[in-house]
Structure 1
């Protein structure tokens, strides 16, 4: 089975990295879960871990093959500079984003030097900022620059978020899937290293306001799809999110407002291409949960993904 990468940081309590004992227990629990093949590591303004790479290397299971996501860094930077991003029509905003990606790339390579080449398998980038401040040609140029750098054996993935849709309040509102595909094709056709795409079930559903949209996006990408992550989303507010908010809901068996039912997860897995870099799970924490209980939604999703016969939707 394709390796499962868990975005556990989405459920982590605030300030976890400042609580050495609590952080040790958090990662000990993750290392004990044999179905996890790696973690999604969030790129942050200070790097891959606030306490440095040696601390991160100590926490990670050396057998894991992890991925890196630039999304957290992109979201933080965009708050102070709405023109920030690899697709920005503003040259300064695009250059800032390129410099940040290069900095995190170097961190990922240093982490490999500590834990081995297999410790980082993929690096996900995004077509920020919001599409009305973006230019598809600028994104193509950013990809051309990024693919000229040394990545070793780390695979580059363009992570699709919800596109900007007229008359619809966006969560991210980045470039359309077709625009991202065009940029990737342009770079690939020029002889640059392979770049593939990353989809997230919840973000595709948010874009289309439908549980059918993720499947449509899978069909559109075909063999260009490099990885697929599961998180839930839905049209009704929950005790921790608004309608169609990108809050990483769990499965419907755990959060009934989520449209991601277990049968849908099984159907999506069945239609995915064989040569994916990984499957991902991304879930937030149940309202009012504390400590390791915050992992409940993600571990429930992990159980269904690793063994589809373990859950029945009621």
Structure 2
């Protein structure tokens, strides 16, 4: 009786009924990395649930004492998180929408349209991400300071102390990364789609908006999730451009929980956990689309 050999995905012969090779090393490495990433978050949550009196009595590296949500309630009221969270929404939502819209236009131009400077522009957009944003802090501050606008737009007469300045800078620094990702994704789409539309009389705008954009929804979901996290967690630019305390985003609200002579680290931990909750909810809601956007097209040659 002859035995039929089967081919594995790598091309090697395998006997029928043989089990696939398990990558134990990869699994162990990923498990260790996951635990290392979860320990700070878990410890912050554990600290936030303990009263400061129990921590002072038993120490931070102890498991004794009661657990309650008093620190969260006090942090929410003392830090004014409701107002600061709304400020973060005002900054994050327009910045993410503008970033994805402008990046998709640029990605379409450099990936689906054959012209002289498409590769050059793509390299320029990508190279912009290699420059540390803090290097441009002083020039951008001076530019916003001397950019005069009507007092109906800004109470300072310039771009400082406005949401527009933060939105513009966040969009400018994120658009290069999104252009690079979207251009690679659009290149993987079949060129027959736009060629057939061109034969039918569809212009560039119609090809972009009605054909390519709907096919990029998984990529938009993945990038949208990342951009919400990046811009929502941004601390540097709002603190640089906004001087009015009632317009700062939620990432700066933790400063309101610090005392002059004493810091309640349990209260600070509760405030840090509160700031994490919105991004965690967004990731959990868009988790399937996020993973699909990262893996779709990975098997294409």
TM-score, length basis structure 2: 0.25
Q: Could you say which structure has the larger radius of gyration?
A: 2
Q: Which structure is higher in helix share?
A: 2
Q: Higher relative contact order by CA 8 Å / sep ≥ 6: 1 or 2? A: 2
TM-score, length basis structure 1: 0.24
